């Protein structure tokens, strides 16, 4: 059974720093994913428009 973190651990500087780092990395990965998809969509749009 998983244990939850107590409030003392959640306030520890090491935990806060690791949590912020993980959040930033996840946000960066999400943004990279969406930017790649947006780029692909833009290329597809231009291809369709130039073919018409």
Once rounded to an integer, what is the mean pLDDT over residues 8-17? 90
Q: Would you say residue 41 has pLDDT above 80?
A: yes
Q: Locate the domains of the chain by residue range.
A: 5-51
- Quickly tell me which residue has 């651990």 as its tokens: 9
Q: Taking all residues of the chain, what is their mean pLDDT, rounded to a whole number?
A: 92
Once rounded to an integer, what is the mean pLDDT over residues 29-45? 97
Distance CA 13, CA 30 (A): 26
Q: What is the pLDDT of residue 8?
A: 85
User: Looking at residue 12, what DSSP letter applies?
Assistant: S
Once rounded to an integer, what is the mean pLDDT over residues 12-16? 93
**Residue-wise DSSP of 18-52:** HHHHHHHHHHHHHHHHHHHHHHHHHHHHHHHHHH-
Distance CA 13, CA 3 (A): 20
> What is the helix, strand, coil percentage profile of the chain, to 5?
85, 0, 15
């Amino acid at each position: 059974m998983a244990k939850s973190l107590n409030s003392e651990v959640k306030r520890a500087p090491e935990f806060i720093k690791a949590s912020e780092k993980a959040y930033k990395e996840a946000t960066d990965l999400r943004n990279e994913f969406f930017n790649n998809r947006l780029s692909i969509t833009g290329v597809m749009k231009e291809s369709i428009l130039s073919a018409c």
